[in-house]
Structure 1
């Protein structure tokens, strides 16, 4: 069994958190796909560094001080698994999208911080990320950020934020 270098995987996560997105082309293969992009904007669902950069912009639009603290990295052939803690402070509205790419949910910022464990799975080709998927603690994040259980006032803010995001999306289409 051939062992591969996991540096591209960790680098892709650090680059996405830092915002230096021009560096993604160095570590993300032109045919790379993010299997987690189904709830993200349509431009995140493409292939290659541009789609990964779109995911980074989407995350960074809602979270300041975004960071991935790497705990463990394991490799098996062309597969790399990264166990980490993602942390940040919500400063913008977090938007989730439906299968058509339309805004499905909007979670306005309450200014809170979160730190959740995640496991990211990467497949590499030619030393670059070619596939990504993850296991995340979305309920833990929602609890830490005050999204659940929602208060009546927060539910109203969610409705207003979703309407606003949908209007903005319609104007830019």
Structure 2
């Protein structure tokens, strides 16, 4: 998690299995939906493109056999659009930068293979994130900004 926030993406090869799958990538850009370290690097780029000062404060970890669970808080300041994608890889929604800080709890579940992350799931408090960043309830002006951001993101695809 600290690697995802720090930007030291070359280190992902040391902790992510070549066949690893991120089960949370369904709303992420298409390059996050492949297997292995490249997918996790794409997820890190996606998060860091929207959030400056991205950090994960780890509170607790637990392990049983090949399962490792991490309870943490993700924090950052939204400086870029946060773009989500549909199942076909098309832009689903775009939340323009608000400049606001957020801190939300996550629980990450990873299955290990050969000492490396092989599978990943997460439980996130997305509603708290949306409230802290003032995505909801949206003002009429923010809805217009969202429509513009979605159009711009779709054109870049």
TM-score range, shorter chain: over 0.9
Superposed CA offset, 1:22-81 (max 9, x none): 000000000000000000001100000000000000000000000000000000110000
Secondary structure, aligned partner of 1:122? strand
**2:141 alignment counterpart:** 153
Match of 1:38 among 26, 39, 47: 26
**Structure 1 gap ranges (5+):** 1-12
Q: 1:1-173, aligned counterparts within 5 Å?
A: 13-169=1-157
Distance 2:155 2:119 in 1: 33
Aligned partner of residue 104 in structure 1, secondary structure: strand
Mapped to 2, the partners of 1:29 and 1:167 lie a distance apart of 33
Aligned residues: 157
* Distance in 1 of aligned mates of 2:151 and 2:41: 26
SS at match of 1:150: coil
Cα separation, 1, equivalents of 2:20 and 2:90: 23
The TM-score with structure 1 as length reference comes to 0.90
The 4+ residue runs of structure 1 with deviation greater than 3 A are: none
| In structure 2, distance between residues paired with 1:90 and 1:38 | 21
**1:167: Cα distance to partner?**
1.2
Q: Partner of 1:84: helix, strand, or coil?
A: strand
Structure 1 or 2, whichever has the larger Rg, is 1
In the alignment, the residues of structure 2 paired with residue 35 and residue 52 of structure 1 have an alpha-carbon distance, to the nearest angstrom, of 11
> Unmatched 5+ residue regions in structure 2?
none
Give distance in 2, aligned partners of 1:165 and 1:32: 28
Please report the RMSD computed on the Cα atoms of aligned residues, expressed in angstroms.
0.4
- What is the distance in 2 between the residues matched to 1:129 and 1:168? 31
